[in-house]
A = this chain, B = another copy of it.
Amino acid sequence: MQLKKNNLSVCLSPALFPFYNNDDSIIVIVDLLRATSVISTAFEHGIKDIIPVKSLDEAKAYQNIPNHIIAAERNTKIVEGFHFGNSPYHYMETNIIDKTLVLTTTNGTKAIHLAKENIVVTASFININAITEYLKQQDKDVVILCSGWKNRFNLEDTIFAGTLSNFLIDTNLFKSNCDSLLASQNLYMSGKTNLFEFLDTSAYRNRNNSLEVIRDTKFCLNPTFKSNIIPIFKKDRLIPLKVG
């Protein structure tokens, strides 16, 4: 029986990361709409590994390498000249088995790089159960890092952080003294009967009213499949770790 509880906290923006991190924590990156949901989807559909890059130029460098898919999103739109954008459906509807995905997005891929001195995994509603199992087994402090929107707080990552916090606190393996965790749990409880409706007036929904993004949003909040894969960052890329 584990006697010492590990510390769990929620960091609401990449710009606050220095005030929540300690070197030995596992960092769980959340960019629910849509990067970390895309990452879970791509692994579940057979991608071999995912290289998150910070800039469009870095992504373009992979353009002519066989078996590499390059994907880029800026301000919710696919960037010209790239194969894919940031919709999970792109990765369900194409054969991506054993390929490498090179991905750059507005917020999520930057958050991964910010935290990469620590152990970094990515989470979404697709792999939330697997992430919970994985974290139960590690006996380490955990920081759930919300990618936000250009360093601003966002609701969608926060309600996911609240859900995952509930799961982890329920294991009795974690303690917390973190107001952002309490806030995220409270916000999740307020919204959980209909997360899509809860986000109705959110900044994300105000920015994105295309049919495609609405379909993606519904999927990311209530995915049609689950994954037991933990995307974990090693060297320069996310690789799939299977749990259970």
Interface residues of A (CB under 8 A from B): 12-13, 15-16, 19-20, 149-155, 158, 177-180, 182-183, 186-187, 190, 201-204, 206
Contact = CB atoms under 8 A, between A and B. Distances in A.
A183 B158 contact: yes
Nearest to A151: B19
A194 B181 CA distance: 20
Given A16-B153, A20-B152, A190 B186 contact: yes
| Max chain B C-beta neighbours (<10 A), residue from A16, A151, A177, A183 | A183
A152 B15 contact: no
B155 A179 contact: yes
Given A12-B153, A19-B152, 20 more contacts: A12-B12, A13-B16, A15-B19, A16-B153, A19-B150, A149-B179, A152-B178, A152-B179, A152-B180, A153-B179, A155-B182, A158-B179, A178-B203, A179-B203, A179-B204, A183-B187, A186-B186, A186-B190, A187-B187, A190-B190
A160 B13 CA distance: 21
A78 to B, nearest CB: 24
Nearest to A200: B182
Q: What 10 A-B pairs have minimum CB-CB distances, sorted nearest first?
A: A153-B180, A155-B179, A19-B151, A154-B179, A179-B203, A19-B152, A186-B190, A177-B203, A177-B206, A153-B179
Contacts of A202: 179, 182
A152 B15 CA distance: 11
Contacts of A155: 179, 182-183
Contacts of A151: 16, 19
Nearest to A9: B152
Nearest to A189: B190
A154 B183 CA distance: 9
Nearest to A155: B179
A159 to B, nearest CB: 10
